[in-house]
Structure 1
Amino acid sequence: MTETRPHPREFRKRLQAGEPLLGTFMKVPATQNTEVLGLLGFDFVVLDEEHAPWNRATLDQSLLAARAAGTAGIVRIARADAANILSVLDDGAIGVMCPHVDSRQKAEELVSWTKYHGGLRGAGVSRGCDYGALPDMFRAADDFTTVICMIEDRQAIDVIDEISSVDGIDAIFLGRGDLGLSLSNATDPVPSLSEAVEKIVKIAKGNGKTISAVVQSMKSDEAKWLIDLGVTAIMVAQDLAFMRQAASMALQDFNEVMKGNA
């Protein structure tokens, strides 16, 4: 980490300002992967409670590791309800990423559950507010808590203007995997995945929302296309993919060297 590195609680402001931000998904419920990526300089990590075996204890530990390593810890929640969101924010998450937001009502409920003032978030003296030591802690938490909606259902395309107009939604994440599946399951005519993505980005950006997406490589045509569309918060792969890539390279190097010495 460098002395000039922004504090993780600056993440929401940086996201809203459209700064280029680098993140990745955390599939392994451990602290070390978060620490390594945070210390390398990743702006944020998303602990994937939806698709990986995270629980309250492992989330708590890795959110502490994220804070220690200077990266913003976001949780992709497994359940979109007040209790689940409260627990991850109390544990110190800088924000939440919510899957399958397909209506204005869901977006409004999500914001309400993350906010103290004007919302329904329950007051608790926890890591999220420095155990009561954070000055004006409820307003401070409201200011830095980040809310990201995942758009990954075909029905969300028709109401993307309503969803992205909700005050308190900071970013729209393009869940292209599930969105592609949803479109493929339609019986009536639907746009192609690329057409749907372009429509979502245009409308959401028009409503002042930052756009986020995941790519497998920053040097891919896919990444260039998304960046040209206006995606600024980019997630590259995930921790297991990084490990597989590095391990594959080590295996390849081993085979080349040992064959040369045979």
Structure 2
Amino acid sequence: MTARGTPHRGLKRRLADGERLRGVLLRLPSETLVEMAGVAGLDFVVVDCEHGPADLTLLQHHLTAAAAQGLDVLVRVGSAEPALALRCLDLGAAGLIHPHVDGPEDARRAVAASHYPPLGERGFATYSRAGRFGAVSAAEHVAASRETLVVAMVETRRACDVADAIAGTEGVDAVLVGPADLAADCGFPEPGVVDALASRAHDAARAHGRAVMAIVPGLDAALAAERAGARLVVYNLAHVLLDTLRSLTAPGTADSTGDPV
């Protein structure tokens, strides 16, 4: 965790320095939850614009709240949405999570949407929020953009089969297995099948020096993922909140006076 008041180091730099980082996946539009994540000492927030509302005004509010807490924000964009990727980065996202990367061609497209030339094809602008509204030079803005984190989501059996080529694509920084889509693609087999495919993708990521990202439902799963080598652990906040609310309805739950609720 980064101590407040220290110079900000982005996620890409912190991964290069060997850190393990924890964040939360946020689908519910709420700047307050972003602020709470920062107060709690988490390292980053993932805003889901694939399965959550892809409203760019709301996203900017979340990014502003995160910046006030020293949090980096990754945005999960929908597949084949380079225009959305561009706008998320212009608003100041620290990186993008690209879903449904099924092969090296998809990985190259994800990198191209995430970076300026020569590595990518992102449209250049310095008068965006990411360019501090024109307050930085073009050279400074380009240098900062090189810290953009690119995460490839592997979500099918085919993607797992070619995970080595995906992870080996220049510009891919991390690999995230989407277990729900992977299970659906495989016809919802026994859990061991999905686990074996995910392990194959994780091994490929580590072989190429890429970070493994894992989405988890709680602390025990986070610790297990880190023991297995995950460098970026993301709590599914909807799962955490729902479990917490359910626990409050358990029989025998008492209020602060000790009286049953």
Measure how far apart 1:204 and its partner are: 1.3
Q: CA RMSD in A?
A: 2.5
Name which of structure 1's ranges 50-59 and 75-84 shifts more when overlaid on structure 2: 75-84
Measure how far apart 1:206 and its partner are: 0.4
Residue 39 (structure 1) aligns with: 39
- Deviations along 1:170-196, whole A, 9 cap, x unmatched? 10012112112212269xxxx811111
Residue 57 (structure 2) aligns with: 57
Is the 8 Å Cα contact of residues 172 and 210 (structure 1) preserved in structure 2? yes
Residue 210 (structure 2) aligns with: 209
Write the distance in 1 (CA, Å) between the matches of 2:260 and 2:122: 64
User: Which residue type is aligned with residue 214 of structure 1?
Assistant: I
Measure how far apart 1:57 and its partner are: 0.9
- Deviations along 1:114-166, whole A, 9 cap, x unmatched? 11131211112111121222352342233211110111111101211111011
User: Which residue type is aligned with residue 131 of structure 1?
Assistant: F
Query: Is 1:173 matched up with 2:182?
Result: no
The match for 1:153 among 156, 178, 184 is 156
The match for 2:241 among 240, 243, 259 is 243
1:250–1:132 distance in 2 versus 1, CA, 3 Å: same
SS of residue in 1 equivalent to 2:236? strand
Write the distance in 1 (CA, Å) between the matches of 2:193 and 2:146: 37
User: Which residue type is aligned with residue 226 of structure 1?
Assistant: A
Residue 128 (structure 1) aligns with: 130
Measure how far apart 1:24 and its partner are: 1.1
Write the distance in 2 (CA, Å) between the matches of 1:47 and 1:216: 16
Is the 8 Å Cα contact of residues 41 and 71 (structure 1) preserved in structure 2? no
Give the paired residue count. 254
TM-score (norm 1): 0.87
Write the distance in 2 (CA, Å) between the matches of 1:51 and 1:260: 41
Write the distance in 1 (CA, Å) between the matches of 2:54 and 2:145: 25
Measure how far apart 1:208 and its partner are: 0.9
Measure how far apart 1:252 and its partner are: 4.9
User: Which residue type is aligned with residue 145 of structure 1?
Assistant: T
Larger RCO (CA under 8 A, 6+ residues apart): 1
1:224–1:44 distance in 2 versus 1, CA, 3 Å: closer
Is the 8 Å Cα contact of residues 217 and 240 (structure 2) preserved in structure 1? no
Write the distance in 2 (CA, Å) between the matches of 1:216 and 1:81: 28
Write the distance in 2 (CA, Å) between the matches of 1:46 and 1:133: 27
Measure how far apart 1:241 and its partner are: 3.3
User: Which residue type is aligned with residue 57 of structure 2?
Assistant: A
Measure how far apart 1:249 and its partner are: 4.5
Gapped runs of 5+ residues in structure 2?
none
Gapped runs of 5+ residues in structure 1?
none
Q: How does 1:60-139 map to 2 (within 5 A)?
A: 60-118=60-118, 119-124=120-125, 125-135=127-137, 136-139=139-142
Measure how far apart 1:218 and its partner are: 2.0
1:148–1:6 distance in 2 versus 1, CA, 3 Å: farther
User: Which residue type is aligned with residue 102 of structure 1?
Assistant: D
